[in-house]
A and B are shown apart, each in its own frame.
Chain A
Amino acid sequence: MQLNQYIKEELAKPNKDILLMTHIVLGYPSLDINRQVIAAMVENGVELIEMQIPFSEPMADGPAIVKANQEAIEQGIRVKDCFAFAKEMTKKHNIAFLFMTYYNILLQYGIEKFCADAKEIGIKGFIIPDLPPEEGDDFFTLARSYELDPILIYAPTSTAERMIRLNQSASGFIYCVARKGVTGQQTDFDTAFNDYMAQCRTATTLPLAVGFGIASKDDIDQLRGKADIGVIGTKTIRLVNEQGVEAVGPFIAGLRY
């Protein structure tokens, strides 16, 4: 089932006006901890998980995720390990898993093989922040031929015209970056944000996910009625670092209700 369909069916369930997507950096602090964190997330209702394949130059990420990428690589994580782990997760958990990474990882793996292998292990889509449609349209078409959704990104700096252009290349859902900057800093949900979300909604019929700085129930409440998916990224990485894996379940459980 394609992501768009999955998201609509989940949203149609009683008492579900917003879905949750979380972010994992594979191999940080270890695949074993990733395994426990994912189990806790799924048990507490997360509908989508983006698994980041580490890259040495994570240009769009903030300090916490940069450090996670770097340490995972230093500890020896390989792309093939990420695929093996992802295969185990998709088998075990009946939610949607995506790969998030940078384009060079796909180029070195071979983009066709990357799509074929990702499809085979049950991955639903890709988020690649350094691949705009001007460079990526051929790849996006290839991905769709494997029934994988390339997730495109809207930014607060995107004009209405640009959003329509991006929508032409997009499928699954749109990832709306909540503010300028990199991951892991606070976001203000002010009038400008509401205008931005309204503009996003006008530009596409795809579901909207909102990420960058979403860290609490208050933040999720702010997104209700404006977005279809709230994305929790850096927050759970910090939580595991500071309070351990046990803190993840209760945190996720408290985000929506």
Chain B
Amino acid sequence: MTTNGYYGQWGGAFIPEVLYETFQELNKAFEQAKADPSFWQEYLTLMQTYSCRPTPLTHAENLSRHFGGGQIFVKREDLNHTGAHKANNVMGQGLLVKRMGKKRVIAETGAGQHGVATATMAAKFGLECTIYMGEEDVMRQRPNVFWMEKMGATVVPVTSGSKTLKDAINEAFRDWVTRMDDTHYVMGTVCGPHPFPEMVAWFQSIIGIEAREQIMAQAGALPARVFACVGGGSNAMGVFQGFLRDPEVELIGVEAGGDGLDTGQHAARLAGSDASAGMAQGYRTMFLQDSDGQMLDTHSVAAGLDYVGVSPILTDLWEQGRVRFAAATDKDVLAALDLTMKQEGLIPALESSHAFVQAFKEAPEMEQDQAMIINMSGRGDKDIFTVAHAYDDPSWKEFITKKGAEYAA
């Protein structure tokens, strides 16, 4: 990476002039933190005492046997406090906020996991907190909205554009240009203008550092393949960083295939052929856009993957051929989730289940002494409404109907 935040031709910092000084200050704070070993130590201690780190690496023996191929290991980011890898980034940025002396944080959220994590951090550090969330996602992820509000955050439903993650990002920037003096924008993923991609990747690298040590201890060798779902790309960058320097480890990013790559109803930027190079939301990457440069509507059963852009770092690694991309359809995602619950008693989030789909496709072709890691970026119990609806579960429907009648009375 160059000092101006480029990864190959991707990235950069396309920021409105009013935020120039704010970014100068942020860059300075980040550079100082990186150069200060006590900062990373403080971060590790916080994650160990507040968020269950290191998270385990679980050998999924039943699934491995089921497919009869490679040994499947699951990195358990679901066991973080708030149930996803998002906590890694948020707590790290929280420490930076304390250093910068800001009093208020804002964030965008898609699935709501980053919003919940940010609200948690704000409560712990005594910061004012506002979360921007697309109106469509507010409907999809009501339980997360409930918890954010309970922890004292203000949740603002965003009604512009497609009412999803990209629109929440725009709205968070509009807030930031109004209140940059006391406010830090806790960007939730490895996207946006420099230094966010590098900063978020740095905090998430804790996943890969742990996973590498754990697989060496448990399997006695490096994994042959590592799978991670990719929305913005933060959990993927997190786990991939543990193996980027090992060319024998194949890295696979799994995007949202939605209804299928040929339907247009998906969010596959790098796995399909619908995306093209562009610049929006402060950075250059591959976007799902039309020939005029207008961003397209994306679709996924998983709100956290439903995004038009993708990390500039991952786009560079894709262009170099270092990371391979695949897509998982909504239908395959639900089947993989079902199998994982039945075989292992694990409930991956719908987002994380995308990585399971691709790993399951490839497991049978691998040797039994080869290891593969799936990054389980989050837990799925937050998705109970979406999952129950997708399975068309009769007893759940009966419960909701009764509950509705109870509240209506």
Contact = CB atoms under 8 A, between A and B. Distances in A.
B177 A182 contact: yes
Contacts of B174: 59, 62, 181-182
Contact of A155 (B13, B20, B160): B20
Interface of A: 54-60, 62-63, 66-67, 70, 73, 78-79, 102-105, 107-109, 129-132, 134-135, 152-159, 162, 166, 177, 180-182
Nearest to A61: B174
Contacts, number: 108
B292 interface: yes
A57 B180 contact: no
Contacts of B20: 132, 155, 157-158, 162
A86 to B, nearest CB: 15
A159 B20 CA distance: 10
Contact of B179 (A59, A107, A162, A180): A180
Contacts of B19: 157
12 contacts: A55-B293, A59-B174, A104-B287, A107-B278, A108-B292, A130-B15, A155-B20, A156-B18, A158-B20, A162-B21, A166-B17, A180-B178
B368 interface: no
Contacts of A134: 4, 13
B66 to A, nearest CB: 44
Interface range for B? 35 or more
A242 B278 CA distance: 36
Contacts of A102: 280
B289 A104 contact: yes
Given A56-B295, A70-B161, A129 B279 contact: no
Contacts of B292: 78-79, 105, 108-109
Contacts of B86: none
B178 A181 contact: yes
B14 A131 contact: yes
Interface in B152-181: 160-161, 166, 170, 173-174, 177-180
Contacts of B180: 157, 180
A135 B12 contact: yes
Nearest to A175: B17
B160 A107 contact: no
Nearest to A128: B14
A214 to B, nearest CB: 17
Contacts of B280: 57, 102, 104
Contact of B161 (A57, A135, A180): A57
A107 B18 contact: no
Given A104-B287, A130-B14, A182-B174, 14 more contacts: A59-B16, A59-B170, A78-B292, A105-B292, A108-B278, A109-B292, A130-B282, A132-B16, A134-B13, A153-B16, A153-B17, A158-B17, A158-B20, A181-B174
B21 A57 contact: no
B386 interface: no
Contacts of A107: 277-279, 293
A244 to B, nearest CB: 25
B135 to A, nearest CB: 14
A108 B277 CA distance: 8
Contact of A132 (B14, B291, B294): B14
A108 B293 contact: yes
Given A130-B282, A157-B22, A57 B13 contact: no
A31 B276 CA distance: 29
B281 interface: yes
B14 A57 contact: no
A55 B15 contact: no
A106 B148 CA distance: 39
A141 B292 CA distance: 23
Contact of A157 (B21, B160, B281): B21
A79 B21 CA distance: 33
A104 B290 CA distance: 11
- Closest A-B pairs by Cβ, 3 of them: A108-B293, A155-B18, A181-B178
Contacts of A60: 16, 177
Nearest to A185: B178
Nearest to A77: B292
A158 B15 contact: no
B281 A57 contact: yes
